[in-house]
Chains A and B, each alone.
Chain A
Amino acid sequence: MKVSIDDVVLPGDYCEDIVNAGEKSKVILGPGLRKEIDKVYITKSGVLRKRAPNTYWVDSYQKRYVPSRAENVIGVVVQKAGDTFRVDVGGSCTATLSYLSFEGATKKNRPEVQVGDVLYAKMLIASKDMEPELVCVDSHGKKGRLGVLNDGFVFKCSLNLVRKVLSPNCPLLNSLKNEWPFELAVGMNGRIWIKAKTMRETIAVGNAILGCEYLSDSEIKSMCTNIASLLAGHVS
């Protein structure tokens, strides 16, 4: 079936607008789109979106993570193998992380990472043909926010929720951060790490995030104040 932007799409549909746009200038095909000979076909169900000038993608629901380049993810170290760590990021196979890709690490000065540690890392290599590879430094060799996440609490959610939480328009984090202090790391692989002062606060943040999956912006705001008052009420 022929579809256009902002339509509900199913795999097998095709979009001529994209092809037409492609004739004039370069087009970026995001997730859920695939070019076959002369047509652009939809491969995932959801809503077809466009961002000016020429970026197209399908907003779809997904839980399973498929590694893609330059995304920040949260992983768990499952094995030390030679001079690399194997990290579970929720994809089809474990990702590798070299001992050397930590800030200031050399062959002699190895980073202190144990099996079971939670890491916030960046996808360096991710392609269907290769084993994904992570790094904990940026291109300047600085660690920035990447590295081992100590303490705190990790939970899983759908990939859509992660994108929603990270979206600049989403009021959730803005509302929550005014209520009480906490640390948060969001991995694009559907894992979220939270660290707050008390267990109660941690759970409150977690519930707030999980709760907002199907809520609108205004509902999120009211939910946040709700949680905050509940929490404050019990504390006092």
Chain B
Amino acid sequence: MDKEIGKICIPGMRLSLSNKEFISGPGTYELKGYIYATLAGILKMEEDEKTKATIISVESPRTPSVLPKAGDIVTAKVTVVNSRLVQCMILCVGSSILVRPYKGVLKKEDIKSTDKDRIDPYKCFRPGDVILARVLPMTEIHWYHLSTAENELGVVIAVAEGSPQGISMVPISWSEMQCPKTLVKEPRKVARVIPENINQTMFKDSKESNKESIDVK
């Protein structure tokens, strides 16, 4: 095939034996001791650092049609805030974009890791905020439970009330943000303080934090 691209796979293609040396990764499945592809895409072979085994995966040219999994970092937009929970729409999983947004819910006790009794959702999120959150195991149909109880998670983009469209607030502490134009301060659960120009650095940061969190895992 085309050498520049790599080895092309299509669903059902037998890729290799499945044993200690070769482990089935994303885009593949195991059946009767072999690894098969589930997606049309390009074969990727990576070495796992710990076990020294080769992870076989298939990379699809477009975002695979799968849903957020427990442990994934997602980007979501807050839709409803009330005294018990925060509802949001999940827009991205890691760096890949979802065509259809999925409903997420962030319970009051999952917002922060400290001071759990005194969390007030109103002081952490407002509708329209863009947040980073981690997916918790799914227990309810149609709702993904999320958590922001980590330093890197929380609000990344927020517009203060009364500010013109597109002017985002800048974090000034871990619990407060300020609009650079109107100087209005509002409380938020900030996702680790990001320096100056938030719009440009946000994506890099979110990606970095993604990587970090995956490494931690």
Contacts and interface: CB of A to CB of B under 8 A. Distances in A.
Contacts of B128: 129
A-side binding surface: helix, strand, loop or mixed?
A: strand
A4 B126 CA distance: 36
B42 interface: no
Interface in A118-150: 125, 129-131, 133
A233 interface: no
A8 to B, nearest CB: 29
A143 B217 CA distance: 52
A133 B81 CA distance: 12
B84 A130 contact: no
B81 A84 contact: no
A91 to B, nearest CB: 14
Interface residues of A, number: 9
**Chain B interface size, under 10 / 10 to 19 / 20 to 34 / 35 or more:** under 10
Contact of A133 (B80, B83, B126): B83
A53 interface: no
B83 A96 contact: yes
Given A125-B122, A130-B122, A84 B83 contact: yes
Contacts, number: 20
A82 interface: yes
B126 A129 contact: yes
Contact of A82 (B80, B81, B84, B122): B84
Identify which of B80, B81, B83, B127 gathers the most chain A CB atoms within 10 Å of its CB.
B83
B164 to A, nearest CB: 9
Nearest to B162: A35
A131 B127 contact: no
B151 interface: no
A205 B177 CA distance: 52
B82 interface: yes
Given A129-B126, A129-B127, A130-B122, A96 B81 contact: no
Interface of A: 82, 84, 96, 98, 125, 129-131, 133
19 contacts: A82-B84, A84-B83, A84-B84, A96-B82, A96-B83, A98-B83, A125-B122, A129-B81, A129-B126, A129-B128, A130-B81, A130-B82, A130-B122, A130-B127, A131-B80, A131-B81, A131-B82, A131-B83, A133-B83
Given A98-B83, A130-B81, 18 more contacts: A82-B84, A84-B83, A84-B84, A96-B82, A96-B83, A125-B122, A129-B81, A129-B126, A129-B127, A129-B128, A130-B82, A130-B122, A130-B127, A131-B80, A131-B81, A131-B82, A131-B83, A133-B83
